């Protein structure tokens, strides 16, 4: 579950716990993940949106998804 906040997007896992704020790139990624997406596609989308190096974005996306998965906020398969 989520809410839009000035800092980005506020997320709470289905299991509860403390809410987490995703800002800037994270928020765009979260919106894109409304439907399942390949990690490489998500990285490409963000690289385009922010005019960044796809390799660098790819590594950041992988780390972010691992973090979200560990908090129960995303599933990575």
Partner 1 sequence: MTEQSLLTSVAGYGLRGGGVLADEPLSEERWGQLLSNVRAERVVPQLLHAATDGAITCSGEQMRDLEQAQLDAMAHVLQLDHLLVEVASILESSEIRFRVLKGSALAHLDYSDPSLRCYGDVDLLIDQTRYADAIEALGDVGITRRSAEVSPGFDSRFGKGTTLVTDVGYEVDLHRMLVFGPFGVTITPEELFAREEGFIVGSTPLPALALEERFLHACVHAVLGSARPRLIPLRDVAEIAFRDDLDLALVHRLAVGWNAASVVAAAVTTAWDTFALADAIALSVWAAGYEPTAREARALRMYRGRRSWSAQAIASLPVIPGWKTRADYTRALLAAAVRGRYTRDRPRLSTGAP
The residues of the shown chain that bind partner 1, judged by CB under 8 A, are 1-7, 10, 12, 14, 16, 19, 21
Q: Is the dihedral of CA 13, 35, 32, 3 positive or negative?
A: negative
CB 15 to partner 1: min, Å: 9
CB 30 to partner 1: min, Å: 13
By C-beta, is 63 or 69 nearer to partner 1?
69
Least Cα distance to 26 among 56, 67, 77, 54 occurs for 67
CB 13 to partner 1: min, Å: 9
Q: Is the dihedral of CA 33, 57, 23, 65 positive or negative?
A: positive
């Amino acid at each position: 579950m989520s809410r839009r906040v000035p800092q980005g997007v506020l997320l709470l896992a289905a299991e509860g716990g403390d809410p987490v704020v995703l800002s800037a790139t994270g928020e765009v990624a979260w919106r894109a993940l409304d439907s399942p997406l390949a990690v490489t596609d998500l990285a490409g989308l963000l690289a385009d949106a922010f005019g960044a190096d796809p390799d660098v974005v790819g590594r950041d996306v992988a780390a972010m998804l691992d973090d979200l998965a560990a908090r129960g906020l995303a599933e990575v398969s």
